[in-house]
Amino acid sequence: MTPTATTIPGKALITPGDHTLILIDFQSQMAFATKSIATELLRNNAALISRAAKSFDVTTILTTVAEKSFSGPMFSEIADAFPGQAMLDRTSMNSWEDDAVVAEVNRIGKPRIVLAGLWTSVCIVGPALSALDQGFEVYFIADACGDISAEAHERACERMIQMGARPMTALQYLLELQRDWARSETYDSTTGIAQVWGGGYGLGIGYARMMFGATEGGH
């Protein structure tokens, strides 16, 4: 039987209201040993997803490990996007084993979890596999995660995918939240975020606007 195409979006696509974003251990001590991604790109992508989440009012949990005694503060690119929001500091490597983090997940009550942070093989694999085991849908933003080597990052990504987690990229996260340029209420914010943190795509937006007065979707 031939299926019928409709304009209804796929159920696996995320929306601003159906998930909780958990940003994990974006801290100096963790970044020093991260070799799978350049630090400046990691910081850029962390900023991009943070601004995206803030712009679309995505429920977001910020968590650190041993902030005062060892790992240092959360990246300013993230903290500045969520002024005044509490950082849930832990001792556990797996944030899903922390009472405060799990209590916040349950308070928010969203069925989908999106993860990003350091390191992929420990701080992301732990909550990803734990959440999947408890019936949550899990996504992870692969280029906003990093590990001590490319091998460690890649094997961690493979392990999560094998268990059912879905990989994304930072720019994909932003654009999937927007999804339609006719959504005028977030159009300026989305293109503004892309211009600053969207790499070559952002350069293209700025160029088109200045040279031709062009905009996405005719805006």
Query: What DSSP string runs through 114-137?
Result: EEEEE-IIIIIHHHHHHHHHTT-E
> Above 80 in pLDDT, residue 219?
no
How many domains, in total, are found in the chain? Answer: 2
Indicate if 149 and 185 belong to the same structural domain. no
Indicate if 42 and 136 belong to the same structural domain. yes
- Mean pLDDT along residues 26-30: 94
DSSP summary character for residue 38: -
Indicate if 187 and 163 belong to the same structural domain. no
Tell me the CATH number at 103. Answer: 3.40.50.850
Domain that residue 118 falls in = 19-179
Tens digits of per-residue pLDDT, 61-110? 999 998 788 888 999 999 999 999 999 999 999 999 999 999 999 999 99
Indicate if 61 and 122 belong to the same structural domain. yes
Joined together, the tokens standing for residue 12 give 């696996």
Please tell me which residue, 208 or 77, carries the higher pLDDT value: 77
Three-class secondary structure of residue 205 per DSSP: helix
